[in-house]
C-alpha cells in the first residue's frame, strides 16, 4: 500500500511541499548504493488545480550531483490512468548538494507537472498537446528542447526555479541551457523561443533581451 498525500494551493505550494518531501527522504536515506534505489512512492492529490498523480523518487550515491525527472502519462486527451512522475537524483547528501537540490527540484518538479497537464488524466483546458513520442526518438538536443510539449514545460520549470532562487528568469534560463551540450548559436535560438513563451505566459514581466555572449 502507498500513502496518499493531499496538498492544497496552486503550483508554487505544490512544488514547495513535494520538494520538502523529497529533501526529507534524501536526508533520512543516506544510503551509499551505486545503483538506483526507489526510496519514496506516494500518491499526490491537489483539489485546487486540480491534479492527481503518483510520485516516485529514486536515488543513488555520487559525488557529482545529477537530477532529472520523467513523467509517464497517457497521450490521449482524456484517460482514467493516473500518471506517474519519477524524480532521479544522484547525490552524496552533503550540505552543498542539499542546497542545490532544493533549487533544481523547483525546476524539475514544475517541469514534469506541466507535462501531466498536457494529456491524459490531468489534461487542463487549453493545454492538450498530441503525442510526440516517435518524434522525440528522432530529434537532436536542440530540436528536443524546441518540441511543442517541451517549451512550456521548460519555461514553467525555469520560472519556478527563478522564484525559489530569487534570481532573474534570464539568469536561470542561461544556467539551464549551459547544462546542455548546445553550441552558443543554438543556445541563443532556444533562449529566444523560451523568452517569447515566457512573455506570452506572463512569466517574464520585463522584455529585456540579454544574449548568451553578454551573460558570459
Tens digit of pLDDT for each residue in 82-104? 999 999 999 999 999 999 999 99
Q: What pLDDT does 206 receive?
A: 54
Q: What pLDDT does 106 receive?
A: 98
Last residue of a domain, one of 99, 122, 145: 122
In a domain, 128, yes or no: no
101 and 64 fall within a common domain: yes
CA gap 61, 90 in Å, rounded: 6
pTM of the entire structure?
0.93
Residue ranges in the chain whose pLDDT is less than 50: 207-213, 216
150 and 101 fall within a common domain: no
Q: Residue 188 sits in which domain range?
A: 133-215
70 and 149 fall within a common domain: no
Are the C-beta atoms of 65 and 97 separated by less than 8 Å?
Answer: yes
Q: What pLDDT does 205 receive?
A: 66
Q: What pLDDT does 216 receive?
A: 47
Last residue of a domain, one of 55, 88, 122: 122
Q: What pLDDT does 157 receive?
A: 98
Q: How many domains are contained in the chain?
A: 2
Residue showing cell 498523480: 53
Amino acid at each position: 500500500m502507498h500513502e496518499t498525500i493531499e496538498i492544497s494551493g496552486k503550483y508554487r505550494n505544490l512544488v514547495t511541499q513535494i520538494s520538502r518531501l523529497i529533501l526529507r527522504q534524501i536526508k533520512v536515506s543516506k544510503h551509499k548504493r551505486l545503483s538506483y534505489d526507489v526510496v519514496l512512492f506516494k500518491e499526490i492529490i491537489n483539489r485546487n488545480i486540480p491534479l492527481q498523480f503518483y510520485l516516485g523518487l529514486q536515488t543513488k550515491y555520487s559525488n557529482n550531483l545529477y537530477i532529472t525527472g520523467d513523467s509517464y502519462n497517457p497521450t490521449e486527451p482524456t484517460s482514467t490512468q493516473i500518471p506517474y512522475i519519477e524524480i532521479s537524483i544522484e547525490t552524496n547528501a552533503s550540505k552543498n548538494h542539499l542546497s542545490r537540490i532544493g533549487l533544481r527540484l523547483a525546476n524539475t518538479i514544475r517541469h514534469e507537472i506541466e507535462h501531466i497537464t498536457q494529456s491524459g488524466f490531468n489534461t487542463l483546458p487549453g493545454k492538450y498537446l498530441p503525442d510526440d513520442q516517435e518524434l522525440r526518438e528522432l530529434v537532436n538536443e536542440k530540436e528536443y528542447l524546441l518540441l511543442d510539449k517541451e517549451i512550456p514545460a521548460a519555461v514553467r520549470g525555469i520560472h519556478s526555479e527563478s522564484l525559489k532562487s530569487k534570481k532573474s528568469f534570464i539568469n536561470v534560463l542561461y544556467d539551464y541551457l549551459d547544462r546542455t551540450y548546445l553550441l552558443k548559436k543554438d543556445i541563443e535560438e532556444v533562449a529566444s523561443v523560451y523568452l517569447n513563451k515566457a512573455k506570452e505566459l506572463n512569466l517574464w514581466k520585463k522584455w529585456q533581451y540579454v544574449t548568451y555572449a553578454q551573460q558570459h
